[in-house]
Amino acid sequence: MAEIIERVTLTDTQKKRQRRRSMAIAFALGALVLIFYAITIVKMGPGVMNRPL
């Protein structure tokens, strides 16, 4: 017997809101990347390049 799967169909408004939430998450993740990059430079300074090749 085939299993019945309940699906949710989002309305256009819900899709728009979902997209805005996704954009906000993307923005927050991008900001985190920038913060960690910048603080690494600040904390290590020129030492960030000082490693054996």
**Alpha-carbon torsion angle 5, 6, 9, 10, nearest 10:** -130
Site residues, another protein (CB under 8 A): 8, 10-11, 13-14, 17-18, 20-21, 24, 35-36, 38-39, 42-43
Nearer to another protein, 7 or 51 (CB): 7
Residue 40 is encoded by which pair of tokens? 């690494």
Locus of tokens 């989002």: 10
12 or 52, CB closer to another protein?
12
To the nearest whole angstrom, how small is the minimum distance from the Cβ of residue 1 to another protein? 24
Q: Which amino acid belongs to residue 13?
A: T
